[in-house]
Amino acid sequence: MGPEVEQKMSGESLEIERQALRPSWWFQAARLMGALIWVAIIAIMFLEASFDLSQRVDLRQAVIALDAFIFIGLLTRTLAGLWRLNGAWWQRAKTARASIVYVALCLLCLTWAPRVAGALASGAFALPALESLFRRILGDEFISRIQLKPSQSLLLSFGMIIVLGTGLLMLPAATQDGQGTNFYDALFTMASAVSQTGLTVQDTGSYFSAFGQILVLIGMQIGGIGIMILSAAFAALVGGRMPSRQTAGLGDLGATEGMTAQSLSKEEDLQWLFGSIAKTTLWFEGLGVLVLYLLWLTGIMALPDEFNNPGGALWWSVFHAVSGFCQGGFTLTPDSLMGWVSNPAVNLVFIILITAGGLGFYVTGDLGRSDWTEIRSPRRFWKRLQLHTKIVLSTSLIMNVVGALVYLFFEYDHSLADLEPGTKVMAAVFQAVTMRCAGFNTVPMSALAAPTILLALVWMFVGSGPGSTGGGVRVSTACVSVAALRAMVNGRKEVELFGYTIPQGTVYKGISVIFVSLLFVSVVLILLAANENQPFEVLAFEVVSAFGTVGLSMGASSNLTEVGKLLLAILMFFGRVGPLTVALAFAEKVDKRRYRYAEEPIDVG
C-alpha cells in the first residue's frame, strides 16, 4: 500500500470521526428548543410579575400561547426519553411512569387552566436546572461531604417549599383583583397550607384566583404527602444517597417500630415506602373526589352558585377531598362547612377522610396488611395488630367519643340551640373529630362556651397520630405520658401499655415533646398578647390551633398585625415539623461521654 493510499484512508477516517463528533440535526434542534423554552419561561415571569393580565387580554393570550409551547417542549422531552429506553413500550412506560403522570396532569390543567399547566411544565425544566446550578456553584466534592440529619433535611424541605409558594402567591395572577398578595398574607397562607393548618387571613374562594387556589392545593398536598418522603428526598438530593446514619435517624421523625433503620436501609425499601404513601394518599383522595362529585350529581349535596356546574363541582370536590384527607382545613366557602351541618352524607365523607388522614400511614398500612377475614373474631384481629396501631386507634376513639359527649353537653343549648336533636348529635361528633386535626367546622367557633373552648385547646394540642397528615404532640405521645403518670401513681417503675413495657427512652421523648411544645406555645402566646389588641382567650385559641395545625379559628387571624401573622406562620411551621425535631436539628443525639455522675435522691413535688 503506497503513501498516497494511506494518506487518503487517513483523511477519510478523520472525516468520519469529525462527522461522528458533529452534533446531529435532532440534537441541534433540541438545544434550540431548550433555549426557546427558557426564553418563554423568562418572558412569562416578566409578564406575570409586571402586568395585571386580568385587564390585558392580549398579554394573557400571549402568556397562554407561551404556556402551551412550554408544555409541548415537556411532552417532546418525555417522548424522547421513552424512545431512548430499552424494552417493550409497556416496560418503557412503567419505567417512566412518574414523568407520564406529570405530563398527563399538565395536559389536564391545559384544558381548563393553561397558566397552571405552564407553571407545572416550567417547574419541570427549572428544578433540574437549579439543582445543576447548585451543584456547579458548591461543587460535587463539597456536596458529598454534606451529611444532614433527617430533622435538618425536614426543616430545609418545608422551609424551601413555603418560601417558593410565598413568592408565587405574591404574583398578580394569584389573586382575583390581579394585584397579588402582600408578603405577610402570602407567607401566612402558604405556611398554613404546607403545614395543613387552614388558618386564613383572606377568604380562599373569593380572594384567590384559580391559579392561587391551585397553589394552596399543591401546598396542602405536598405537606400531606408526609414527613419521611420529603426528608428522605432532600437527603438524597443533597448527599446523593441515603446513608445508613441518616436512615437510622428517621425514627425521630415518626418512624415506628415497623419502620426501623434496617427495614429502610435498601433503596427498594425506600421506593416501596414512597409508593405506599403515595398510593394510600391518592386512593383516599380519589375516593373522596368521586363520592363528593356523585353527591352533587344526585342532588344530595347542594353547592354555591359559582360551583353549581360540572366543572365547578369537580374542582370543589378535588379541593375539599385533598383538604380533608391532608387535614388542610381550607375551604372555598367563607363559612367552612356550616352550610352542610344537617347533611349526613357530607358529614360522613369528611369524617372518614379526616380520620384516615389522621391515623398515620403506618397505621393504615398495618390495617391493610391485616387478615380481615378474622374480623369475625375481634379479639384475634386486635391481637395481631402492632402496639403502635393499638395505641393510635384506641386513643383516637376515646378522644372522639369523649369529645363528642362533652361538646354535646356544653353546647346543646348554646351554639347548637337552633339545630334539630339529630343534627346536634351529628355536629358534636363532627366537631370532636375535626378539633384534633382538620380545622373544618359546621357550627360557628365564635359562639362556643368556655368549657368547650378549654376542651378544644386540649384536643388541638394533642392532635393526630404520628406520621399522619395532622399535627399536635400526637396521640401516642399523650397516651404514653398518661401511662407514665399512671405508673407513677401505682408505684411502678415500668410504663406498660397493652401488655408491653414502653422503653424508658420513649417515655422521656414523649415528656420532652410535651414540655417543648408547651414552651413554644407559651412564648408565642405571650408575644401575641403583648402585641395584639384582642381578647386573651381568642389569642390562646388561635395559637394552639396554629401549633396543632388544626385551623379552627375564633376570628383572630384576619385581624392580626404583620408581627402577629409572622409569629403564627413560624408557629405553624414548627407545629408541623415537631418541636423535638427542631431541637434535634441543631443537636447531636448520641451521648459520647464515657462517664456517669454519682446518683443522689432529691425531693420533688
Q: Within 10 A of 479 (CB to CB), how many other CB atoms are there?
A: 22
Q: Is the pLDDT of residue 21 over 70?
A: no
SS3 335: coil
Instruction: Give the DSSP letter string of 46-80.
Output: HHHHHS-TTT-HHHHHHHHHHHHHHHHHHHHHHHH
Q: Within 10 A of 319 (CB to CB), how many other CB atoms are there?
A: 24
For 573-577, what is the mean pLDDT? 84
Q: Is the pLDDT of residue 554 over 50?
A: yes
| Cα distance between residue 122 and residue 44, in whole Å | 10
Continuous segment of H or E residues that includes residue 496: strand 495-497
pLDDT one-digit tens code per residue, 439-492: 899 998 888 899 999 999 999 999 888 877 778 888 888 999 999 989 888 888
**Amino acid identity, position 401:** V
Alpha-carbon Rg for the chain, nearest whole angstrom, is 27
**Amino acid identity, position 310:** P
Q: Is the pLDDT of residue 172 over 90?
A: no
For residue 246, what pLDDT band results from cuts at 50, 70 and 90? very low
Higher local confidence (pLDDT), 144 or 262: 144
Q: From residue 266, how far is each of 69, 124, 340 by CA, in Å?
A: 40, 27, 47
Q: What percent of the chain has pLDDT over 90?
A: 24
| Interacting residues of 67 by C-beta distance below 8 A, sequence separation 6+ | 44, 110, 114, 115, 117, 118, 119, 121
pLDDT at 173: 80
Phi, psi of 398 (to 5 degrees): -60, -45
Q: Is the pLDDT of residue 265 over 70?
A: no
Cell numbers representing residue 358 in the block: 389522621
For residue 565, what pLDDT band results from cuts at 50, 70 and 90? very high
pLDDT at 88: 76
For 224-253, what is the mean pLDDT? 47
pLDDT one-digit tens code per residue, 296-352: 999 999 998 888 988 889 999 999 999 999 888 899 998 889 989 999 999 999 999
Q: Is residue 437 a contact partner of residue 354, using CB atoms and an 8 Å limit?
A: yes
pLDDT at 243: 40
Residue the block writes with cell 417543648: 516
For 164-185, what is the mean pLDDT? 86
pLDDT one-digit tens code per residue, 403-438: 999 999 999 988 898 899 999 999 999 999 999 888
Which of 147-151, 534-538, 559-563 is predicted least confidently? 147-151
pLDDT one-digit tens code per residue, 109-144: 777 777 777 888 887 887 777 777 777 776 666 656
pTM higher than the cut 0.75: yes
| Cα distance between residue 264 and residue 267, in whole Å | 8
SS3 446: helix
Q: Within 10 A of 179 (CB to CB), how many other CB atoms are there?
A: 12
DSSP 577: H
Identify the burial level of 159 via C-beta atoms within 10 angstroms of its C-beta, where 0-12 means exposed, 13-18 middle and 19 or more buried.
middle
Q: From residue 460, how far is each of 128, 547, 584 by CA, in Å?
A: 39, 8, 23
Identify the burial level of 193 via C-beta atoms within 10 angstroms of its C-beta, where 0-12 means exposed, 13-18 middle and 19 or more buried.
buried
Continuous segment of H or E residues that includes residue 137: helix 114-138
Q: From residue 499, how far is each of 280, 426, 465, 495 by CA, in Å?
A: 30, 35, 21, 10
| Cα distance between residue 392 and residue 474, in whole Å | 9
- Sign of the torsion formed by the C-alpha atoms of 485, 487, 492 and 495: negative
| Cα distance between residue 35 and residue 43, in whole Å | 12
pLDDT at 457: 94
Q: What percent of the chain has pLDDT over 70?
A: 79
